[in-house]
Structure 1
């Protein structure tokens, strides 16, 4: 065995593309391109030989597909004419104004792409876009000399405008003199038509040929009939010369302008070529994206060596059948190298292996495939023999042609190659055909070559059944409607159904019964077993379908229930928080009222004032206790969001926890809260805090290694803000090894002091705390960790 060289690879690409209709798919792909070069790239597309390159090509397709879905695309007004004119750039060639305008439009388009496709989250396409040069200066340069209609502007040079204005003036003067000459000669009857015409850039009158000498002037042309001569009056010759000389001066100046612009573009030829190449790559990527969306495709994945399943192709469709395509499913264990599909003619066998082959080619070429899921090994080489291989030119029979092609496949296949064989062992004596087919399948199996084959020979099915690494398969067929169902059954060989189909066509019953009598007892027995097995498989599939339906319904109900419970929790939490805020607000208002009644209005005495103040403070202290801490609605995190060593804010805990383990299959993780380890469900997580966290308190920033504080002053903070800041500092100090903290809360009404001490009494990291009176004031508390 040996691998093909580059030329052979190209030939094989062309052959396999034609056999599997990949050429048609490539043609369809090219219709999504804006540029001719990208279309050519589509039409020359071949499978890639390297897994890394293939995955990169698929990732680019994925990025383009997502960008299109996000309504981010290449500007639709892109002018690609420059691509066809790049070869005109050289120092000796002067570009025309329209050609220069192509480059201006292209420069604008490149700028638009750079501005539109700012997509850092899509690395491959972003890399292409960022590699595009800034061509804005080129557009400005060209547009300063050439207008949108590809005309050279008057201000393209200092002298062009004045020259053109002089020309307009001279032409007007010339026309006026020609009018005078016409009016002078017309009464003489020598004018053929009263018109002023132009011949050889000279203004002329139409004179009857018999009077050509009567008109004093120069003859510049004669009509085809000879009846009219075109005469320039002698009185305007000098003025006509001046017009021509001025026009030549203008032409020279315009040529100079075009030459300067052409030289400027010539200096940028390498840059422009890179821009074109990059644009073509982007155009090609978006073409792949548009086709992926059209076919409702998925990104193929490649099975790692030894992984199961080896092939998993779910709801795959042949892309050229469009809406007529019926989804096919295929799942193969890693132990299977040979899959033999049998069944009646027109049962879908050939379409099945062609679909497998075509989608595999698309995957290896960096294209998404029309399927719900498509997983396959990375195929080294793909070969196919599908259809009639008879070669009239070489006088080869169909069987000889098939064997010749298989010989070539053997020579160019290695372990990891895939071969598609249609009607293996046919076109020759059935016994000999079966023998060579079994021998070939043995060879391919021994050499690790994957084969998808079809056949009508039942003897091969029996051979497959007892061989390790080989499996039978069949496509269900409706014998009543004489149509395939395209449902692939692994493990069950198909039946030809020849007699059943013949009976349904209306052949006389006597002929059908006579045909049945010729069947051997062995065939009848095997046929009966296959029928029973097929019926059992149908029952199993129906049961699996029922189980899947029940599971899907259960999943829907569970999701609805979780959403309902979540909604209830949100309403409950919102109501609790609102009630707490209202209680605190009303209590503070009552406290203010009794202060006024006692100090200003004197409507209550000292005893009443003290009693009411204590009652109100008790309420305020209660709602500011940890039991009444604000309840946050947990964020719905997924298992993939959780990483070891993350800091979490957890519902039901006053302090933060550190993740010790990844979620198990039930979503349970282990966390450390201080020195305590516990397990929680990820639904209890309120917030995942990054390694660098900023609290809601002003001017306090906590980092992954916070600076420990020996003292914190809570003056000026509302109670909730103060407790949140205090909780953060306690956690940071504990992690830094600090053993105590001096807390300044003030004395005042005692509300904050009481809230702080209630908070400390329930904090998991605080061992004890004690007041530290100063100057008869209870304004400081010391907490020990």
Structure 2
């Protein structure tokens, strides 16, 4: 018997014939035929490579569809149909199966005629698998055909790793980790009072919607205002049970202690929300948010009515439990009285080791001397290890104790019923509780952000426009180290962190930062990136002022990612990351590149660095780049969109000052730093000798150019200051002129009023002389001749008033 080799590809594909067979079955009028055909279709669905039917391998079949020798059987006599529909256990069933074979083969031929070949597609391997019926109901014949060609765009392209795909996301974890942003979020999380608030802080990511960002930033500002005024609510006691709500949804009865914690947590959140709503004038956005939270006071009241503060079921939780507990108390009193009588009985007292009763499980027993236990009326429970004492339950309390045990069982059943009722209520309110607890985490995070802003002297950034402006920005990790060092020194004063001030996007879009090693270039780069990310998360930033555009992504290549597992060198890792940055960045992104062009041949690295900067400027992508390569410095003199900046270096002390000076290229000063770090003097001298004459000439010309630029910049600043002073003087003179004109106009108005009010012969009071007089005549110049004590005086009309007393000369 010829065997036909087959191959199955696409094990997860849905078998089309089974669906077709089911649809054909629905059209057949015979109920029995429909049932048999559906059974065939159901059994055909799971057939895959390596699957078996009645112990046979379906990958090799005979032309007639029966199992061949060596394929699940031992010879020709073992050939049989493998389909479950034809497996029979009795003669009647075999006859019925044989009769139904005709009903099976006809629709299968019909399906094969209509469909021809059924195609299975596997998206992973891009293979077709042709599957057709062989005429037998027990197996399928499968053949592999040529693969489907990939799309033209994908031909010749390597398959992208998952990391590469994720790295194209604007704020993927790769870019955040490069800038150590998770460590910054950990600082904010350390100010949280609850575990949920800290998790909320750690999960913070930049917003992709500007309206949502502004609302989040406004909430932080309002939380800071409440904190400054002392009105921020505390959530320190908020400790919700973590798995309680999921257990309640599964109808698993919650213990009384868990329900009590749920109610307490709800009460804490509601109290905090109510306190914020009452201060709506200070925090309108937060008050609106708190007012929209679900009201769970009814559930809390329900728990309070059943469970007390000690996590016990209250006696008043229900009428039944009240009745049971009263009965239990009565029975315990009866038992106690009977045991007291026994211990005081003269005959029994001599039999007892000690008069106080004790417990054996939940039953009362008396400590009886072993030699007297035969005379004590009671049941023996156990004997002490020494054998001297037998613990016996008096007959007088056995029935009463039995009744007590029954009532206690009833009590437990009633408690379970009450807890089940509360659990069902918790399940109904689970969604609202989750929302309320998420709001508590958010409120705790906002309070933590407010405390962080106060401790780190933060400002609230303005996110808008296209210009990045940072004034006296400080990296939060450096501020944290400075605060910790201040506490360690014991003086309580934090060490000063050198701030960073720069502008990007106004006169230039690319800033090339140069300077010595250990001079602070990388720290400046990370400060820019971290400040932008914090602003995009709605957080306050450690700065005097911060204007941040709404970036759609912050991409950074900082540090060394040499990988032995992936056979990546330092240069390869840098280039790979820069390639991903260039693919993802847009004109609304921020790109940060550290040590551009390093790690390879200096000439080729310089050429590649210049090309990358030209690409960034051509695509109008804002970028801050650090480098030691002179060609990148010189690009600023030919490209208007590129500006130089240098890390300041104190030549007298050979120490960096960590200050960024925009407009002036920095110097690497490798030999000076090497000497300061202890490099032997002969080695440093030899290095200076090895610097060629052309290099020295170029460096001297560069230094002279830098000196001229510094002089011109100094002169420009001087002229700018003078112009500013002149403008200030001009504005002051203009203001003084306006004030004098205003006063003059006022005097003229007063003179006109006085001229209209007085006429010759009127008695007046002269303010300047504090004396009365009489007007002799009035001139058109706003003066009057007044006789005062016999003397004629010419006075302004503004000095004259109506008489205050008897007039006199």
Q: What is the TM-score of this pair, normalised by structure 2?
A: 0.62
- 1:89 and 1:255 map into 2 onto residues whose CA distance is 14
1:427 to 594, 599, 609: 599
1:126 to 287, 295, 317: 287
- 2:709 and 2:335 map into 1 onto residues whose CA distance is 99
What's the CA shift for 1:176?
3.4
Given the superposition, is the C-alpha separation of residues 513 and 266 from structure 1 closer, same or farther in structure 2, using an over 3 Å criterion?
Answer: closer
2:268 to 87, 95, 109: 109
The answer to whether the Cα contact below 8 Å between 2:635 and 2:642 also exists between their aligned partners in 1 is no
For the pair 1:201 / 2:359, whether they are aligned, the reply is no
Which stretch has the larger CA shift, 9-18 or 348-357?
9-18
Which stretch has the larger CA shift, 336-345 or 114-123?
114-123
- 2:564 and 2:231 map into 1 onto residues whose CA distance is 53
2:666 — aligned with what?
Answer: 494
- 1:504 and 1:268 map into 2 onto residues whose CA distance is 69
Give a deviation string over 1:266-288, Cα, whole Å, max 9, x none.
33333333322333333333332
What's the CA shift for 1:142?
2.7
1:232 to 386, 390, 393: 393
Given the superposition, is the C-alpha separation of residues 104 and 376 from structure 1 closer, same or farther in structure 2, using an over 3 Å criterion?
Answer: closer
For the pair 1:53 / 2:212, whether they are aligned, the reply is yes
Q: Secondary structure at the match of 1:367?
A: coil
Q: Secondary structure at the match of 1:113?
A: helix
Higher CA-based Rg? 2
Which stretch has the larger CA shift, 400-409 or 527-536?
527-536
1:97 — aligned with what?
Answer: 256
The answer to whether the Cα contact below 8 Å between 1:154 and 1:164 also exists between their aligned partners in 2 is yes
Given the superposition, is the C-alpha separation of residues 106 and 10 from structure 1 closer, same or farther in structure 2, using an over 3 Å criterion?
Answer: farther
Given the superposition, is the C-alpha separation of residues 468 and 256 from structure 1 closer, same or farther in structure 2, using an over 3 Å criterion?
Answer: same
Which stretch has the larger CA shift, 186-195 or 51-60?
186-195
- 1:271 and 1:317 map into 2 onto residues whose CA distance is 41
- 1:386 and 1:211 map into 2 onto residues whose CA distance is 89
Given the superposition, is the C-alpha separation of residues 234 and 452 from structure 1 closer, same or farther in structure 2, using an over 3 Å criterion?
Answer: same
For the pair 1:522 / 2:697, whether they are aligned, the reply is yes
Query: How many residue pairs align between the two structures?
Result: 559
The answer to whether the Cα contact below 8 Å between 1:177 and 1:236 also exists between their aligned partners in 2 is yes
- 1:88 and 1:344 map into 2 onto residues whose CA distance is 61
After TM superposition, list the pairs within 5 Å mapping 1:407-426 onto structure 2: 407-426=579-598
- 1:504 and 1:526 map into 2 onto residues whose CA distance is 25
Give a deviation string over 1:290-344, Cα, whole Å, max 9, x none.
2222222122223424xxxx22100100011123422111123434222111111
What's the CA shift for 1:441?
1.4
Give a deviation string over 1:709-751, Cα, whole Å, max 9, x none.
xxxxxxxxxxxxxxxxxxxxxxxxxxxxxxxxxxxxxxxxxxx
Which stretch has the larger CA shift, 408-417 or 171-180?
171-180
2:420 — aligned with what?
Answer: 259
1:243 to 396, 404, 407: 404
1:715 — aligned with what?
Answer: none
Given the superposition, is the C-alpha separation of residues 226 and 366 from structure 1 closer, same or farther in structure 2, using an over 3 Å criterion?
Answer: farther
What's the CA shift for 1:100?
2.4
2:109 — aligned with what?
Answer: none
Q: Secondary structure at the match of 1:155?
A: coil
What's the CA shift for 1:414?
2.3
Give a deviation string over 1:391-417, Cα, whole Å, max 9, x none.
121121111111111112222222222
Q: Secondary structure at the match of 1:115?
A: helix
Given the superposition, is the C-alpha separation of residues 11 and 418 from structure 1 closer, same or farther in structure 2, using an over 3 Å criterion?
Answer: closer
Q: Secondary structure at the match of 2:192?
A: coil
What is the root-mean-square deviation in Å for CA atoms of aligned residues?
Answer: 4.0
2:576 — aligned with what?
Answer: 404
What's the CA shift for 1:525?
2.0
The answer to whether the Cα contact below 8 Å between 2:235 and 2:444 also exists between their aligned partners in 1 is no
Give a deviation string over 1:632-680, Cα, whole Å, max 9, x none.
xxxxxxxxxxxxxxxxxxxxxxxxxxxxxxxxxxxxxxxxxxxxxxxxx
1:358 — aligned with what?
Answer: 530
Given the superposition, is the C-alpha separation of residues 502 and 155 from structure 1 closer, same or farther in structure 2, using an over 3 Å criterion?
Answer: closer
Q: Secondary structure at the match of 1:424?
A: coil
For the pair 1:447 / 2:604, whether they are aligned, the reply is no
Q: Secondary structure at the match of 1:46?
A: coil
Given the superposition, is the C-alpha separation of residues 282 and 512 from structure 1 closer, same or farther in structure 2, using an over 3 Å criterion?
Answer: closer
What's the CA shift for 1:356?
0.6
Given the superposition, is the C-alpha separation of residues 320 and 286 from structure 1 closer, same or farther in structure 2, using an over 3 Å criterion?
Answer: same
- 1:367 and 1:471 map into 2 onto residues whose CA distance is 29
2:122 — aligned with what?
Answer: none
2:14 — aligned with what?
Answer: none
After TM superposition, list the pairs within 5 Å mapping 1:283-302 onto structure 2: 283-302=444-463
1:321 to 464, 469, 478: 478
Which stretch has the larger CA shift, 453-462 or 502-511?
502-511
Given the superposition, is the C-alpha separation of residues 404 and 6 from structure 1 closer, same or farther in structure 2, using an over 3 Å criterion?
Answer: closer
1:386 to 531, 554, 558: 558
- 2:426 and 2:689 map into 1 onto residues whose CA distance is 86
Given the superposition, is the C-alpha separation of residues 79 and 547 from structure 1 closer, same or farther in structure 2, using an over 3 Å criterion?
Answer: farther
Q: Structure 2 unaligned segments of length 5 or more: list them.
A: 1-152, 154-159, 483-494, 740-762, 764-809
Which stretch has the larger CA shift, 182-191 or 15-24?
182-191
The answer to whether the Cα contact below 8 Å between 2:171 and 2:206 also exists between their aligned partners in 1 is no
The answer to whether the Cα contact below 8 Å between 2:342 and 2:349 also exists between their aligned partners in 1 is no
Q: Secondary structure at the match of 1:485?
A: strand
Given the superposition, is the C-alpha separation of residues 165 and 411 from structure 1 closer, same or farther in structure 2, using an over 3 Å criterion?
Answer: same
For the pair 1:269 / 2:430, whether they are aligned, the reply is yes
Which stretch has the larger CA shift, 91-100 or 205-214?
205-214
The answer to whether the Cα contact below 8 Å between 2:170 and 2:584 also exists between their aligned partners in 1 is no
The answer to whether the Cα contact below 8 Å between 1:82 and 1:103 also exists between their aligned partners in 2 is yes
For the pair 1:66 / 2:231, whether they are aligned, the reply is no
What's the CA shift for 1:372?
0.9
- 1:465 and 1:385 map into 2 onto residues whose CA distance is 25
What's the CA shift for 1:542?
8.5
What's the CA shift for 1:432?
1.3
Which stretch has the larger CA shift, 422-431 or 215-224?
215-224
Given the superposition, is the C-alpha separation of residues 506 and 219 from structure 1 closer, same or farther in structure 2, using an over 3 Å criterion?
Answer: same
- 1:296 and 1:76 map into 2 onto residues whose CA distance is 24
- 1:29 and 1:214 map into 2 onto residues whose CA distance is 76
Q: Secondary structure at the match of 1:375?
A: strand
The answer to whether the Cα contact below 8 Å between 1:200 and 1:220 also exists between their aligned partners in 2 is no
- 2:522 and 2:275 map into 1 onto residues whose CA distance is 45
Given the superposition, is the C-alpha separation of residues 340 and 214 from structure 1 closer, same or farther in structure 2, using an over 3 Å criterion?
Answer: farther
Q: What is the TM-score of this pair, normalised by structure 1?
A: 0.64
What's the CA shift for 1:264?
3.5
- 2:233 and 2:616 map into 1 onto residues whose CA distance is 47
